[in-house]
């Protein structure tokens, strides 16, 4: 009997990834507003990375962490997701605590930190003004995200950091938002052997306002680790 298609099969389908690669080319201009924003910063800050930020981690990862988009002075400056701003301080310290990273995080892509059984990507690969991509930009970048998902053969868990990452994941996998509402700490069963976990984004704003505490963030990783049997 033929195997029932899984959600990841949907991400692999030509309609979703349409021959896109998992990483966007550095000269991608499919989003004119974001391309113009990068052009501006290439002139203003020529030593910054200022390009679509590639995913970081292992192709054999069982855990994929999905952020919103590069931060202007974080990943857009350094070229590595969550590297160089506050969100990375909490994320990487947590990854180190839960065995998903090895080394020392020094907010620098040359710090030698490596990920274990884990990859980090963004729902939108280019920095948006004020951290706010438009719905059209989120949809335009979706084929790269679909290709990213499709290129992770061992994927068991996706962690969405915030609603946009959550919605990008659901849209990519052709799943209904009404069936999988975003909620911090929620676990959505996507397929046998694949779960989507939700967390509030580990931004400075969310931690400063108490919306997300370190304890709350750690509890999500505790659940993920138990779910996939990571040691
Ligand atoms: S956000 Fe994605 S699709 Fe849009 S320009 Fe950047 S890499 Fe290309």
Helices (H), the chain: 7-12, 14-17, 32-44, 75-78, 86-97, 135-150, 163-172, 204-208, 214-228
| CB of 177 closer than 8 Å to CB of 170 | yes
Q: CB of 24 closer than 6 A to ligand 1? A: yes
- Write down the pTM of the prediction: 0.94
Which residue's CA lies nearest to atom 4 of ligand 1?
31
Q: Minimum mean pLDDT among 19-28, 32-41, 67-76: which range?
A: 19-28
Ligand 1, atom 3, lies closest to the CA of: 141
**Ligand 1 atom at minimum distance from 69 CA:** 1
Choice between 11 and 49, residue whose per-residue pLDDT is larger: 49
In CATH, 7-228 is 3.40.470.10 = yes
Residue whose C-alpha is closest to residue 18's, from 126, 146, 137, 135: 146
What does the pLDDT look like over 120-133, one tens digit per residue? Answer: 999 999 999 999 99
Residue 1: its pLDDT value, please? Answer: 52
Element of type H or E holding 121: strand 118-122
Mean pLDDT of the chain: 94
Q: In the prediction, which pLDDT does 80 show?
A: 98
Q: Residue 10 — pLDDT band, cuts 50, 70, 90?
A: low
* Strand 157-161 relative to strand 101-102, pairing: unpaired
151 Cβ closer than 6 Å to some ligand 1 atom = no
Closest CA to 12 of 191, 172, 167, 171: 172
The alpha carbon dihedral of 136, 145, 95, 187 has a sign of positive
Test site for ligand 1: of 124, 128, 138, 147, most ligand atoms within 8 A of the Cβ: 124
Count of other CB atoms within 10 angstroms of residue 35? 15
**Cβ of 52 below 6 Å from ligand 1:** yes
The verdict on the CB of residue 126 being under 6 Å from ligand 1 is yes
Q: How confident is the model at residue 34 (pLDDT cuts 50, 70, 90)?
A: very high
Residue 12: the pLDDT is 60
Q: How confident is the model over 36-52, as a mean pLDDT?
A: 98
Give the model confidence (pLDDT) of 55-111 as tens digits.
999 999 999 999 999 999 999 999 999 999 999 999 999 999 999 999 999 999 999
Residue 19's pLDDT band, with cuts at 50, 70 and 90, is confident
Helix, strand, coil fractions of the chain, as percent rounded to 5:
40, 15, 50
pLDDT at 4 over 60: no
pLDDT band of residue 229 (cuts 50, 70, 90) is confident
Is the alpha carbon torsion for 131, 127, 199, 220 positive or negative?
Answer: negative
């Amino acid at each position: 009997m033929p195997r029932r298609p899984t959600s990841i099969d949907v991400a692999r389908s030509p309609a979703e990834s349409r021959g896109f690669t998992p990483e966007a080319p550095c000269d991608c201009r499919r989003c004119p507003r974001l391309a113009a924003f990068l052009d501006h910063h290439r002139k203003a800050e020529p030593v910054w990375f200022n390009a679509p930020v590639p995913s970081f981690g292992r192709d054999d990862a069982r855990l994929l962490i999905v952020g919103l988009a590069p931060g202007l002075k974080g990943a857009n400056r350094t070229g590595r997701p969550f590297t160089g701003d506050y969100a990375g301080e909490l994320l990487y310290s947590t990854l180190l605590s839960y065995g998903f990273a090895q080394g020392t995080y020094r907010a620098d892509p040359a710090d030698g930190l490596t990920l274990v059984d884990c990859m980090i990507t963004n729902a939108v690969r280019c920095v948006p003004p004020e951290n706010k991509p438009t719905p059209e930009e989120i949809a335009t970048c979706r084929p790269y995200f679909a290709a990213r998902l499709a290129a992770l053969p061992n994927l068991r868990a996706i962690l969405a950091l915030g609603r946009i990452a959550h919605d990008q994941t659901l849209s990519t996998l052709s799943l209904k938002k009404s069936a999988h509402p975003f909620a911090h700490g929620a676990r959505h069963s996507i397929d046998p052997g694949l779960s989507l976990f939700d967390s509030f984004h580990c931004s400075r704003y969310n931690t400063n306002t108490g919306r997300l505490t370190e304890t709350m963030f750690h509890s999500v990783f505790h659940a993920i680790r138990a779910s996939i049997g990571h040691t």
